[in-house]
Amino acid sequence: MVASWPLTARMSPDTDAYTEARQPNRITFEPEVGPPIDRRRGTAAGTLVTIRFTGITDAERETFEDWYRDTLFDGVLPFNWVDPVRGVAATYKFTKDVYQLAAHDQKFDLSFRLLRLP
């Protein structure tokens, strides 16, 4: 069973810091003679997503860190979350990059990168 985003954590990231980059799904072969030959790499491609939450509380930070560490085994397992742009459920996985926390005014900024699975 796939885990879900913790309900007690903030659900919507900052829209001004949200970015998506679709993974390349084309491979090109360049023969010695003639034009390059392109083909699809796979039937589906994932999308890299950059997320930031600004001004989360200490309780939200603690909920996130516990969920990341204990439920996702330090970000190894995938999880379900409502896509913040499309509003539909999607499956995500943390990239090899570790999440970042920045403290300010007794609140935190949380940022991380995810792979939205195809």
Question: What residues have CB less than 8 Å from 117, skipping those under 6 apart?
Answer: 46, 78, 90, 91, 92, 93
pLDDT digits (tens, 9 = 90+) for 2-54: 899 887 767 778 878 888 988 888 889 999 999 999 988 888 889 999 999 99
Residue extents of the structural domains in the chain: 13-116
Question: In percent, how much of the chain has pLDDT > 90?
Answer: 58
> Does residue 77 have a pLDDT over 90?
yes
Structure tokens at 87: 């509003």
Give the pLDDT of residue 84.
Answer: 84
Verdict on whether the full-model pTM lies above 0.85 = no
Give the pLDDT of residue 115.
Answer: 94
